[in-house]
Chains A and B, each alone.
Chain A
Amino acid sequence: MNRLIRAEFRKIFTTRLWWAMLLGAAAFATLATIGQLAGNGVDSAALMSARTQQAVFASATFGDIFTLVVGVIAITTEYRHFTSRPTFLSEPRRGRIVVAKMVAYAILGLGYATACIAVTVAVAVPWLATEHTTVEWQNHDLIWVIAGDLATITAFAVFGLGVGVLVRNQIAAVIAALAYLLVLGPVMQVIPGVKVIYRWLPGAAADAVTDVGHFNDRLLNPWEGLAVFLAWGVLFALSGWWFTVRRDIP
């Protein structure tokens, strides 16, 4: 298994995609953090509130779009360029390839998450300091927000792998993943009736995890969110494994 994980890392680091996507993730996290801070202007009461501070530190999760796409591409690029063939010839026990990919991309996702959190902290802490505001790490449960950032950004890489296994066409899979996260999710959030379903979907469940104070009533509470989110993770991982083992490799 270690061999296969090492092979996955070689695949990752011998093309430039990981680097471009890391830049993208960090840029999104930075912009989202700035947006969140700037939205409160110089109102230090607002900037002091748990709601605002949690939202600011949850901005790192905007990087999850990139871990999702990296995960999708990880699988679909093998089918697109037929490297699936040497890959599954080197290890015909296909389940092991899937597990190796999941481990490798979870580790990579953790790296992305760390970078996103780092830029968020690097922007938010000095910004709040100049507004004569203290960062209430303890009182506002910001540590939990950051733990939530770490978990969700990382897990989106595994979600992406699951999507890539199901939709092998790379462009279709990337578009489907982005359309859900950027368009379908936000739209569902405001449609009456669908709202109830929305909170149980992976994107909303991820948002609930970092909404530690449960300020957004469209979402589940953070613990429910975490449970639902992990359930999605397990579902994506299992379906990725199951379909890879059952279907023919092109």
Chain B
Amino acid sequence: MAELRPSAPEHRGRIVVSGLTKTFPGVRAVKGLSFTVEPGSVTGFLGPNGAGKTTTLRMLLGLAIPTSGTATIGGLAYGDIDDPSRLVGAVLDATSFHPSRTARNHLRVYCAATGLPDTRADEVLDLVGLRAVADRAVRGYSLGMRQRLGLATALLGDPRVLILDEPANGLDPEGIVWLRGFLRDMAEIDGRTVLVSSHVLSEVEQTVDRVVILARGRLIYEGTLAELASERATLVRTPTPDLLISALTGLAGDVRFERGVDDLIYVYGVEPDAVGHAAWLAHIELRELSPRRSDLEKAFLQLTAAGGVGE
């Protein structure tokens, strides 16, 4: 039965991924990935589809065996945790159900497997708001209801660490608001570790404190959302955008551009003053020059798009 071990709670819930690599025949899905997820916060695990998020989570959960590197929860590989469902709850797929089994029976299977009383199934059904439909076969469930049932399965053991793969997929707006509050409470009130993956930043933007961003199997960024949002862009309008780009390319530092509609360019990596000066030197007409805090989604897209360079 559940037995609390004496180790410090903050250590128990920490996720540490170190040098994690997974090679499938012909493909390196995850390449030397390292990051840490701390208890008491909601961490977003972000990246475009195919970036290696699910593969990473499968390795973290002992379902896939890493080619090299380690992934631990509370200092232990998943397979070495006693009674893992009491430490870690995870949902890797919104459809991990037998379609003709009812939600209550689905949960009771895992109550039996982990030695929990059957009453726990009803408790988690209440928690995710599925009690009323608990005796219906899962085949009749909407994707949103399946997401809730997946979450209920993960919550059976009242785990300290919650790992959810794309939990907002298929949820209606009301469900997303509910999930957001639920995850925040799990982290802030209960001090649990919450790791939530998504391929859309805006979906988790209001929920997460920290983000780990992945592209093409590599770590692109690890840190707070605030830092991610602080990268500044300069908005420039000019009738000769190509001329401006070639003028700016000569500047020192890592200058990046993004073409907007018509005569609009976003310039990254240079201060607006420097852009204006370079344009003046090159006799380029500017119609607008303004500093702009890049919005998160754009920063995210830029980071993940840049992730493939050099490979």
Contacts and interface: CB of A to CB of B under 8 A. Distances in A.
Contacts of B294: none
Given A15-B100, A81-B96, A92-B81, A87 B113 contact: yes
Contacts, number: 81
Contacts of B81: 92
Nearest to A16: B100
A89 to B, nearest CB: 6
B73 to A, nearest CB: 11
Interface residues of B, number: 33
A81 B63 contact: no
A127 interface: no
A88 B63 contact: yes
A49 interface: no
B68 to A, nearest CB: 15
Contacts of B90: 89
B12 to A, nearest CB: 17
Nearest to B98: A81
A231 B84 CA distance: 35
A14 B115 contact: no
A106 to B, nearest CB: 18
Interface stretch (B102-110, B178-186, B266-274, B279-287): B102-110
Contacts of A92: 62, 78-79, 81, 84
B21 to A, nearest CB: 14
Contacts of B92: 82, 85
Contacts of A16: 100
A77 B99 CA distance: 10
Question: How many A residues are at the interface, by size bracket?
Answer: 20 to 34
A85 B105 CA distance: 17
B231 interface: no
Interface string A165-204: 0000000000000000000000000000000000000000
Nearest to B113: A7
Interface in B38-86: 58, 61-65, 78-79, 81, 84-85
Given A89-B84, A89-B90, A249-B64, A7 B109 contact: yes
A6 B106 CA distance: 13
Contacts of B108: 10, 14
B101 interface: yes
Q: Is the interface of A mostly helix, strand, loop or mixed?
A: helix
B10 interface: no
Contacts of B114: 3, 90-91
Contact of B96 (A15, A85, A91): A85
A16 to B, nearest CB: 7
A102 to B, nearest CB: 16
Contacts of A15: 98, 100-101
Nearest to B90: A89
A58 B110 CA distance: 39
A10 B79 contact: no
Given A14-B105, A249-B63, A83 B112 contact: no
B97 interface: yes
A78 to B, nearest CB: 9
B249 interface: no
B96 A3 contact: no
Given A89-B84, A90-B114, A82 B93 contact: yes
A86 B89 CA distance: 9
B95 interface: yes
B207 interface: no
B105 A86 contact: no
Interface of A: 3-4, 6-7, 10-11, 14-16, 77, 81-93, 246, 248-249
Q: State the 4 A-B residue pairs at the shortest beta-carbon distance, nearest first.
A: A7-B113, A14-B105, A7-B112, A249-B63
Given A3-B113, A4-B113, 4 more contacts: A14-B101, A91-B114, A92-B62, A248-B64
5 contacts: A6-B112, A82-B96, A88-B63, A90-B84, A249-B63
